[in-house]
Chain A
Amino acid sequence: MVKKIKKILHKLAKSTGIKRHPHEHHSFTLRRLILSACLFSLVIVSISSWLFYKDPRSKYDLVRPGRRELPNSFKAEEDSSIKFESKDDIKVEIQHIQSQLKSLDTYGNFTNDALSNDKVLQNYLDQPVLEQ
């Protein structure tokens, strides 16, 4: 039984490329490269899955292509500490923060009528089609 299992494992190792065939002279064979690429992708997938499930909110931070994203001005200097040489510098900075807060409205809100009867029931389909 053990012998049989060993034989199967040996065969499997050879077919997947873990063990080298007698006719293979190079250590980097195509099969081995494919196998290592598969293993590498498995590692990447498992790490990203772990990161995703670690925090249930992480799904909200996924990048959604085609959607309006915040401009770079919201990302720049975020970690660098700004040097304040005078009191005016602080006042300017506070006013700048306030203007950025106001501009946030343009990057999505929840006040539109996306869930209105008209939109949900697709009432535009009731409109008669104009004949050409």
Chain B
Amino acid sequence: MVKIKLNSKLLSIPVLLGLLSMSPYFVNRSYAFNEDNIYNQEIGSKIVSRCDIIKEYLSKTVRISELAARQNRVRGWEYILRRLDNLEEGYIRFNVDHSELASALVSLRQQLEQFKVDFEAYDGEFQRLLSVSCKLDPQNFWKQLETLRSFRSGIALSAENYTNNLNSAISVEDKKW
């Protein structure tokens, strides 16, 4: 019994030492990760000096391409939902239960509306960012950019989840035939 206790203690020492030696690596990594996004003098001066280019890039490149991406996504999803609606006739003809698909479509349409609402909120944040003066208030501009980034990751996640849900609903129906 004493032997086992001693062994476990002996084993725990290198494990602890190993963890201690690795901790600076994790601390540095997390620090380095946050450091990039923390507002500092260098970022501030870049924002002020490149204000016009930054605003043009955000408004004419990013925003327009994201509006187009949203448009394509929503149109594509709506088209797929309509195609799935059209399957009803076939289900009735071959006596296959359609209720599961019908309820999945109701849920998917609600999720699509939610995506549209989420995108509106994201676009609202985008407009707010563009309304902030990057020459006079670079710190606020950076803060608003950080907010926009978090909204953007939410939109990306929402789009991915929607695609996955739509895909799983189609897979369920595929297995019935």
Contacts and interface: CB of A to CB of B under 8 A. Distances in A.
Interface of A: 56-57, 60-62, 64, 67-70, 74-75, 78-79, 81-82, 84, 87-91, 93-95, 97-98, 100-102, 104-105, 107-111, 114-115, 117, 119-122, 125
Given A108-B65, A110-B66, A97 B84 contact: yes
A125 B58 CA distance: 16
**Size band of the interface chain B makes with A:** 35 or more
Contacts of B61: 114
B25 interface: no
B89 A84 contact: yes
Main DSSP-derived SS at the B contact region:
helix
Contacts of B87: 90, 93-94
Interface of B: 36-37, 43, 46-47, 50, 53-54, 57-58, 61-62, 64-77, 79-80, 82-84, 86-87, 89-91, 93-94, 116, 119-120, 123, 145, 148-149, 152, 155-156, 159-160, 163, 166-167, 170-171, 173-174, 177
Contacts of A64: 64, 67-68, 71
Given A56-B120, A62-B67, A64-B71, 8 more contacts: A91-B174, A94-B174, A100-B80, A108-B73, A115-B62, A120-B54, A120-B57, A121-B54
B32 to A, nearest CB: 13
A98 to B, nearest CB: 5
Given A60-B67, A107-B73, A121-B47, A91 B177 contact: yes
Nearest to B126: A115
B156 A110 contact: yes
B154 to A, nearest CB: 9
Contact of B145 (A88, A95, A115): A115
B60 to A, nearest CB: 11
Contact of A110 (B120, B155, B177): B155
Given A74-B79, A97-B83, A122-B54, A57 B116 contact: yes
Contacts of B171: 98
Nearest to B64: A64
Contacts of B74: 60
Contacts of A62: 67
